[in-house]
Amino acid sequence: MSFKKFDFEVGLPLDRFIKKKQDDFPYATGELSQLLRDIALAGKLVNLAISKSGLLGIEGAMGKNNVQGEAQQHLDVIANDRFINALKNGGEVAGIISEEEDNIIKVNCDGKYIVAIDPLDGSSNIDVNVSIGTIFSIYRRKSEIGGKVTKEDVLQSGNQQVAAGYLLYGSSSMLVFTTGAGVYGFTYEPSIGEFFLSHNNIQIPEKETYYSVNEGSYFNFDDSIRQYIDQCKKSGISARYIGSLVADFHRNLLKGGIYFYPRTKSYPEGKLRLCYECNALAFLVEQAGGMASNGQQRILDIKPESMHQRCPMYIGNKSMVEEVISLINEVATP
């Protein structure tokens, strides 16, 4: 299906933007629009909790790990609850998969959509007041409406997404999303509780401004990745790495650059999660004129085999992603 990208007036409220977009597609029936509103509402509640976390004493780890084996923060649980409750109350979602949950959350058998979500990406940075975020993907369910949600519903390749995006909680909070017709960014105005269009039809700059990678793992990377990092340094490309995927991706989306989390000796399959991190950002970056790969193939063409499947990711400027893929193939060739 081909989509037309639209230009909208900066300052347009999110609800009015969604209504205008819906009017442009005669077959739209409103469920996806409502689902995006539900996600925006949950984002407002999470933003409020984050802004008051120090005063409410809800910072820090809970002392237990999630399904990924990672230390679970208090705000991880709060964010997970906020999004699940908002999606349940909205009524448009049949099932949810979350970084914080072992299994599929079955919500409403009459719902048409599946949501894959990382409720609070970068949560280990909460205590030091660094930007963090939420990442989400939306799919149409495959199974019959009214029946039970199946694994086939949640294990769809990223090219089946109908919408994807992220919320960034920082010096200003933003909602950035695509429905397959361009990428749009909305900045939150907390005094009136509304998101307003601030970034219209985002396109990633062609300039190779930044490279973003955890160089603390340099000696755990394959030779090809170390060579690419060395090339970036020799070319004078600036290194920027926050450690919050959403924040690193957002900066490069607006300024130009590449983010990559390759496989390492500790994580031979990569560390990022395909279903609720890589797919969403890959959809966004392609809509913005960029590229996303696992080093061998397009991220969006990978068929997941499990909910929490990990995946290497190289994402950003097309020229930079192509260059690192070329090095990977060159070094791998005897």
Residues at the binding site for Mg(2+) are 99, 118, 120-121, 277
Q: Residue 20 CB: number of other CB atoms within 10 A? A: 13
Structure token digits, residue 202: 């985002």
Structure token digits, residue 198: 């601030």
The position carrying tokens 């205590």 is 127
Annotated binding site: 99, 118, 120-124, 214, 241, 271, 277
**Cα–Cα distance measured from residue 79 to residue 72, given in angstroms and rounded to the nearest whole number:** 12
Annotated binding site for substrate: 121-124, 214, 241, 271
Mapping DSSP to helix (H, G, I), strand (E, B) and coil, where does residue 149 land?
coil
Q: For residue 13, what is the DSSP state? A: B
Q: Residue 19 CB: number of other CB atoms within 10 A? A: 13
Q: Are 121 and 136 in contact (CB under 8 A)?
A: no
Q: Which residues contact 84 (CB under 8 A, 6 or more apart)?
A: 96, 98, 105, 107
How far is residue 273 from each of residues 117, 169, 310, measured CA to CA in Å?
10, 20, 4
Strands 71-73 and 161-169: unpaired
